[in-house]
Amino acid sequence: IREKSLYGKKYLGVDRSTFILDPDGVVCREFRGVKVKGHVDEVLEEIHQLRKPAAKRQGRSG
């Protein structure tokens, strides 16, 4: 929860975040301040990339 502002009025709102964990429970990717539209597709693509062997990942470190 964080303070937000709309039309000059301040209020408390949700700060959406998503975390991808590896099989050992270690966070391997985080998405902060996400918007709902398109987020599911972005997360699924990241999961598909993380499941590929490291040699096949393009442009990714780790």
Quick: pLDDT tens for 18-51: 999 998 999 999 999 898 899 999 999 999 999 8
Q: Is the pTM of this model over 0.75?
A: no
Would the pLDDT of 62 be above 60? no
Residue where the block lists tokens 């096949």: 56
Contact of 52 with 59, CB cutoff 8 Å: no
pLDDT of residue 60: 54
Residue 61 pLDDT greater than 60, yes or no: no
pLDDT at 14 over 90: no
Domain definitions of the chain by residue range: 2-56
Residue 17: closest CA among 6, 1, 41, 28: 1
